[in-house]
Structure 1
């Protein structure tokens, strides 16, 4: 399916439990959607229209959805719950000062992301002046194989995670997205050795990026940080050491908070 195409249903069959139906309705909203009508929610989820109407009313009553005319959008209560998500919040709070320093030093846009299944989810973005129009946004998902942060995270992940990414299909996102499993695996081996993942127009045209994983203890990375800018205007290999230093610094603080040892420390 191409970037401009959309499934008419997010599920192979109608979700039956209340929890799955609520999850389906919330998941029907995409980044560009502010409000959706009942008909569109039913079409995207495969849930009968009558059930959608009833669930929407209940979700609106508890603040999960907010009404605007005949349509509804995501409600304030979801934002409040998101702020309570301990992993994203503590990680973001620790990383922000180092991200700000990295943006000041490199004059590039700085991303912080985590791995969720086969995607990366962006936790924070500090944009630089005159930056390209990135496909990333806070809270947005992108396929891990098509981003610098994603490759940095995959390089430190267990084999079953990498196998799941390959099995899901290496979908093309940008002009130079890696779509061959062998090429991806070769890159991941190099990244695991150097600690730096490079991206050249793999997530979007004109974009260059260098990323480094944030690791605490001997487990898989908890997140990755990157610096991104215009190809031809940023020498990402010169920026790389600063990105790696920022990742190590964030890891040290996270490890100290958790009473653990940063990855690679003796």
Structure 2
């Protein structure tokens, strides 16, 4: 965190954002000491701001730790892109779940991570670590690989330069992942085999924007399913995902 947040000239908004930004995927619950260290704020300031955020619903207090409050997620869902996407996708996610009884995911890219906008849990006992509002690495998930395949080159270079092992099956060689992304762009779908969670495989397709014919379309989300095994069901699931993705794009166009 910027050291100048502790100076008198730092604005209140910047200090509040410093407190909120101290939380991330690997720091979901923080003590006051940890919050102070991660923000660079004086302990008294961090304590006061955290207390006010708890009162306003921005943070919750659980024992001696602070966690992000539900109010922040509610506000975040008002972001135009996320709201439009979730509303457009909702019936198609339900259709996918009804047809497959598998866990269904809708995610968008947030930097070098996949931000999960919606999820329907499947019947099968497949280990799934995603959660609505959570983030996972782009390189180890089906929806993430779809989003990465059509991400700007700078993002791809950053991700390829920071691969790390999550399970014994995670792809950590940049040239192998780069070749996979090229296949994703050619085939129109991505897959993972136990790369994020052992015992879980995934398939995903891009959701395209519904831009005007003269404007180049862009990938606005990844739509995926998580299953225990891809053998014998890959063609059927990819077909179902493509139908749902096309439906979401049409709905986005109608709304536009």
TMscore range, shorter length: 0.7 to 0.9
Aligned: 1:131 with 2:131: no
Give 1:185's aligned residue. Answer: 178
Is the CA contact (8 Å cut-off) linking 1:131 and 1:229 kept in structure 2? Answer: no
Aligned: 1:212 with 2:205: yes
Is the CA contact (8 Å cut-off) linking 2:106 and 2:117 kept in structure 1? Answer: yes
Output the TM-score relative to the length of structure 1: 0.82
Change (3 A) 1:70 1:118: closer
Deviations 1:54-91 (A, max 9, x none): 22233234332344565544334323312322221211
Change (3 A) 1:227 1:19: same
SS at match of 1:222: strand
Q: CA deviation at 1:48?
A: 2.9
Change (3 A) 1:150 1:79: closer
The root-mean-square deviation of aligned C-alpha atoms, in Å, is 2.5
In the alignment, structure 1 segments of 5+ residues that lack a partner are: 1-10, 259-266
Is the CA contact (8 Å cut-off) linking 1:170 and 1:181 kept in structure 2? Answer: yes
Output the TM-score relative to the length of structure 2: 0.85
Count of residues paired in the alignment: 246
Aligned: 1:171 with 2:164: yes
Give 1:228's aligned residue. Answer: 226
Larger deviation: 125-134 or 189-198? 125-134
Equivalent of residue 88 in structure 1, options 82, 88, 91: 82
Q: Distance in 1 between matches of 2:4 and 2:253?
A: 40
Aligned: 1:48 with 2:46: no
Q: Distance in 1 between matches of 2:116 and 2:184?
A: 20
Q: Distance in 1 between matches of 2:247 and 2:4?
A: 44
SS at match of 1:101: helix
Give 2:253's aligned residue. Answer: 255
SS at match of 1:125: strand
